[in-house]
């Protein structure tokens, strides 16, 4: 679990003071914001605004950077730039130049599901993360992550996002399993997905994944392939698998924790991804889950309660999840870098219609691995 390096109350007070300070500068110029937040190197040298030009989406501000100041210094003050410029702000570093890009994001309130995985033939499990402020659809491949955390306060769009990813997977021929401990949203998808609603079912489903993971490791080894991608170049008998777990904090069984832990570390090569969703990122559960958290390289963070929750989803020092506007479907996507997105909106009913229309029924049946295969442990 990332360290809790920020004390929310102190930060909150500092934020208000600096925001107040920035308001005093309104009407002067962006250079004054740099001064207000003390964005400078040890010698007191500050980035200098060299150019400013309009773009299709907003304005690009080009700064020359003094030694010792880089993109991360701007990232840290993002909140203040966004509040001063009243826009979404992204940063692009080019050598000693930094471009601060503003976006007057005209996100539609509800962006309907619209995704065609056949446009991404090079990906195993493509899914639309959402629309970015420049109006493009951001698409990622689960195989590249390969695990993802989805966090957010109740009512901000987690379930809709999980449905989007699930439908995208099924449209691509990816085989899906879902642990749905709330038992409300996913039971209707039983014709297409392996479903676990109870503790006992969850334990069985997780054990099946562990066995499948070891079976696949053996198949890859026999085929002399390093990973799933290499195997898929030669054979097409192993579909990509994705396991969704909603809601993670409802899992309290030790055997299930261990299975999730093993899969988070070992399933990378064998074409199995996990998506762990929670509305309580700050729950105690992560205390015993430090290794798992560090394996979830993709994170989708809807608005969260506080800066601590944001840091658990997005990483140490990253408080953007708590600073998001109160807009449903608005999220920070993090995979190395942050990106503000508006996720597509899909109800369970609509997801069901899409699947009825476009995906034939049939859940993935796990092979009956022999005991030898199941107990074998292979270091990757
Ligand atoms: N991507 C979206 N765009 C616009 N509105 C959305 C989006 N996703 C969800 N909403 C709105 O927010 C409501 C709650 O969405 P959802 O059930 O997905 O939230 P949640 O975070 O999963 O809540 P819970 O944790 O209680 O299940 C929806 O009924 C819908 O009105």
Q: Is 107 in the pocket of ligand 1 (CB under 6 A)?
A: no
> What is the model's pLDDT at position 6?
45
**Each residue's pLDDT tens digit, 211-264:** 999 999 999 999 999 999 999 999 999 999 999 999 888 888 888 988 999 999
Q: Residues forming the annotated binding site for ATP?
A: 152-159
User: What Å distances lie between residue 65 and 58, 81, 375, CA to CA?
Assistant: 22, 17, 56
**Residues 181-209: what's their mean pLDDT?**
94
**Residues 202-208: what's their mean pLDDT?**
95
Domain locations in the chain as residue ranges: 10-103, 111-377
| Topology given in CATH for the domain delimited by 111-377 | Rossmann fold (3.40.50)
Query: Within its chain, how far is the Cα of 97 from the centroid?
Result: 29
Q: Is 289 in the pocket of ligand 1 (CB under 6 A)?
A: no
Among 25-29, 144-148, 206-210, which is the least confidently predicted range?
A: 25-29
Residue 167 has pLDDT above 80, yes or no: yes
What is the band of 57 on the pLDDT scale with cuts at 50, 70, 90? confident
Q: What is the pTM of this model?
A: 0.82
Q: Is 329 in the pocket of ligand 1 (CB under 6 A)?
A: yes
Among 38-47, 246-255, 325-334, which is the least confidently predicted range?
A: 246-255
What is the band of 55 on the pLDDT scale with cuts at 50, 70, 90? confident
3-class SS string, 125-178: CEEEEEECCCCCEEEEEHHHCCCEEEECCCCCCHHHHHHHHHHHHHHCCCEEEE
* 332 strand-pairing partners: 301, 340
**Residues 148-166: what's their mean pLDDT?**
96
Q: Is 156 in the pocket of ligand 1 (CB under 6 A)?
A: yes
> What is the model's pLDDT at position 211?
95
Q: How far is the CA of 372 from the centre of ligand 1 (A)?
A: 45
**Residue 361: burial class (beta carbons within 10 Å; 0-12, 13-18, 19+):** exposed
């Amino acid at each position: 679990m990332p360290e809790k390096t920020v004390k929310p109350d102190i930060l909150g007070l500092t934020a208000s003071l600096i925001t107040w300070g920035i308001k005093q500068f309104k009407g002067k110029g962006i250079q004054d914001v740099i001064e207000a937040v003390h964005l400078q190197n040890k010698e007191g040298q500050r980035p200098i605004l060299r150019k400013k030009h309009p773009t299709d989406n907003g304005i690009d501000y080009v700064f020359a950077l003094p030694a010792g100041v880089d993109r991360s210094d701007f990232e840290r003050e993002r909140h203040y730039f966004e509040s001063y410029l009243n826009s979404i702000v992204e940063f692009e570093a080019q050598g000693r130049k930094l471009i601060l890009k503003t976006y007057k994001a005209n996100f539609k309130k509800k962006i309907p599901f619209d995704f065609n995985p056949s446009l991404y033939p090079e990906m195993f499990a493509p899914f639309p993360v959402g629309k970015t402020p420049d109006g493009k659809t951001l698409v990622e491949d689960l195989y590249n992550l390969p695990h993802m955390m989805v966090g957010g306060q109740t009512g901000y769009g987690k379930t809709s996002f999980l449905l989007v990813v699930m439908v995208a997977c099924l449209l691509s021929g990816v085989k899906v399993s879902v642990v749905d401990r709330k038992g409300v949203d996913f039971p209707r998808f039983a014709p297409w997905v392996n479903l676990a609603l109870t503790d006992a079912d969850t334990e069985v489903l997780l054990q099946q994944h562990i066995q499948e993971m070891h079976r696949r490791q053996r198949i890859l080894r026999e085929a002399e392939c390093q990973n799933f991608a290499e195997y898929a170049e030669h054979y097409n008998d192993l579909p990509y698998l994705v396991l969704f777990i909603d809601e993670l904090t409802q899992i309290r069984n030790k055997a299930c924790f261990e299975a999730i832990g093993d899969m988070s570390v070992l399933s990378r090569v064998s074409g199995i991804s996990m998506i762990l969703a929670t509305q309580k990122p700050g729950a105690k559960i992560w205390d015993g889950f430090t290794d798992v958290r560090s394996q979830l390289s993709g994170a989708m963070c809807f608005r969260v309660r506080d800066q601590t929750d944001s840091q658990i989803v997005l990483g140490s020092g990253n408080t953007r999840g708590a600073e998001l506007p109160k807009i449903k479907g608005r999220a920070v996507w993090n995979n190395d870098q942050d990106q503000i997105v508006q996720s597509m909106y899909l109800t369970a009913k609509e997801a069901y219609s899409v699947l009825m229309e476009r995906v034939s029924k049939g859940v993935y049946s796990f092979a009956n691995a022999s005991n030898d295969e199941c107990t074998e442990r292979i270091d990757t």
